[in-house]
Chain A
Amino acid sequence: MNENKGFKNTAITVNMLWIFLFVLVPNLIVVVISFLERDPVGFFRWEPTISHYINLFDPVNARVFTHSLTYSFGTTLLTLAVGYPFAWFLSRVGRRRRPLMLMMVIVPFWTSSLIRTYALVILMKANGVINSLLVTLGLAKGPVSILYTDVAVYVGLVYSLLPFMILPLYAVLEKLDSRLLEAACDLGATHLQVFARVVLPLSLPGVMAGSIMVFLPSMGLFYIPDLLGGAKSMLVGNFIKNQFLTSGNWPFGSAASVFLILVMVSMMAVYLLVMKRFNRSVMP
């Protein structure tokens, strides 16, 4: 009993220490630096300022944010459009085939996302697999430019984030009582009406959770726009990366990070609020 308690306390202490040292402290440092002046030699000077935050709203920089939001929004809609039918199919397929299909969703996680993005480059480049195929089949006269376009960035983002949409959707759709669908049919609803009036409203928690889980990371994935979009599509992720690694402007990069975190936190707050209201209406 005592030993057990000792182990528990040690485990909790180590965990807390770990989180404090490697999560909380670095983030606090970022927050502090975002309020300091830039220094060409030492990265920052101990001189307080809020100029970096004001600078974020400079039209050039603000465009990066709005551009990013558009991409993230588009990615969320696309993953929803692809993921919903798949999750539905997954939840209705026989119990025996389900594990295999779930594996297909999860297996890509076993390799690094960066490596999988390089694989996409090989698929989409001018003399890559897709173009060779198109030319050989006579569907295109010469190579079609896919890489370094918006299409490539969307393909990369959707591909990387799709499982985060499918899994929460699957979780709610799997629990959906098929007797409710039969009751709706019995009352005269066509397939489309059953979907619109019963399936969709009852799967909204999954739609919300999946959207958040795709939207938030898509803002920060800097290597996908870098590798697949070339330098053309500047998103928040690679914008921050550039501030730190290329321009050496740590305080400005920090300010952008803090702002991004604030955007994400406020979205999470909205999500939790909506979910709380939804649960209150559906649960006893």
Chain B
Amino acid sequence: MPVVYLQNVSKTFENHVVIDKLSLDVFKGEFLTLLGPSGCGKTTVLRLIAGLETCDQGVIRIGGKDHTHVPACDRDVNTVFQSYALFPHMTVFDNIAFGLKLKKITPMEIKQRVEETLALVKLSGLGNRRIQQLSGGQQQRVAIARAIVNQPLILLLDEPLSALDYKLRKEMRLELRQLHRKLGITFVFVTHDQEEALTLSDRVVVMNNGCIEQIGPPKEIYEEPVNRFVAEFVGESNLFDAEVVETRGETMEIRVQGVLKAVKNRRGFQAGQKVKVLLRPEDMTVEPCKQDCPSGSFPGRVEEMIYKGTTVELIIRLEDGKQVVILEFFNEDAEDISYDMGEGVCVSWIDGWEVVLPHE
């Protein structure tokens, strides 16, 4: 049974539909991420679960019980707010103890639990500090501690890392994962950063315009996006227009860039149907062109070569003017990747790594 269950939930602000008949299950103990562009309604979904917003339609169940009209203070849910929202008139200790003090827990136990949580977020000994005396990263940890000390059924995190600098963000990612494993609490995490979503989550929910586009594990979202929006939001991609020529059971023949290629047919495409072929930059291959390209690859010219440490990004202009991005890795086979500007190359991809999407 899902620990959070949203069914056909809708929310409208001033005649503007922000969440449109959204249904979502969150399972016990999982790390679920809501991923989507800014303004797509991620925060609103979190606020609906927290009870800080009431839905116009639909049902919200938490821990198996109907919570549609339960106020925020009576929900076993705690939030790490995007702006942290720490109480400026309290010390670190009092901020973290806020929820416990409301529950009539003995001062002895409060002290013990706060100290434990401080240690968990690596802030031991800072209990007496004022909030204003902390760095952004430390405030972030207090915000997390203030929520997890209550041992809620669900922890909601609204873009908690977006205000931190790059290095700290990567560190905190790792710590969040460890925290999730240690606590066993269900995490619902919001971000607009696809890398964050892919590295942290058990499952990713890709949202757009108040609707869910796809739900699945990171690998599936990245490798098998169901539509163009997901494909392009979740990572860099090359999209080719193509047409199905012939189907043969599990496989089919398509014409792409004037070349015939055999690909898998997972979605029952019919002959004559227009489709899009999606390829991630790292799934494409490039070879120097001697004279003619081997069958099944497209001729093009190198337009730009960007060195990125462990990889090289090649921007290649195909003969019909289409631009593709290809990522090459340095390894034993290719210790030195080097092309001249304007050099002729042949572009192809590793068979079976393509994703064929319906034409939209």
Show the binding face of A for B, using Cβ within 8 Å: 177, 179-180, 182-190, 193, 197-198, 201-202, 281-284
Contacts and interface: CB of A to CB of B under 8 A. Distances in A.
Contacts of B98: 184, 187, 189, 197
Interface string B97-122: 01100110000000000000000000
Contact of A188 (B85, B88, B102, B130): B102
A201 B89 contact: yes
Q: Is the interface of A mostly helix, strand, loop or mixed?
A: helix
Given A187-B98, A284-B133, 19 more contacts: A177-B85, A180-B87, A182-B72, A182-B81, A182-B85, A183-B79, A184-B98, A185-B52, A186-B77, A186-B78, A187-B102, A187-B150, A188-B73, A188-B74, A188-B150, A193-B102, A201-B89, A281-B130, A283-B132
Interface of B: 50-52, 71-74, 77-79, 81, 83, 85-89, 98-99, 102-103, 130, 132-133, 146-147, 150
B2 to A, nearest CB: 21
Contacts of B102: 187-189, 193
12 contacts: A179-B83, A182-B72, A182-B81, A183-B81, A185-B51, A185-B72, A185-B73, A186-B50, A187-B147, A189-B98, A198-B87, A202-B89
A284 to B, nearest CB: 4
Contacts of A284: 132-133
A179 B146 CA distance: 15
Nearest to A202: B89
Contact of B88 (A190, A193, A197, A282): A282
Contacts of B86: 183
A190 B51 CA distance: 13
Contacts of A197: 98
A197 B150 CA distance: 18
A177 B85 CA distance: 8
Contact of A190 (B52, B73, B78, B146): B73
Contacts of B150: 187-188
A282 to B, nearest CB: 5
* 10 shortest interchain CB distances as A-B pairs: A284-B132, A187-B99, A183-B85, A179-B85, A185-B72, A188-B102, A186-B79, A201-B89, A188-B73, A185-B73
Contact of B99 (A188, A281, A283): A188
B103 A188 contact: yes
Contacts of A201: 89
B58 to A, nearest CB: 21
Given A186-B78, A188-B103, A180 B85 contact: yes
Contacts of A180: 85, 87-88
Contacts of B132: 282-284
Contacts of A283: 132
Nearest to A191: B73
A200 to B, nearest CB: 10
A184 B72 CA distance: 9
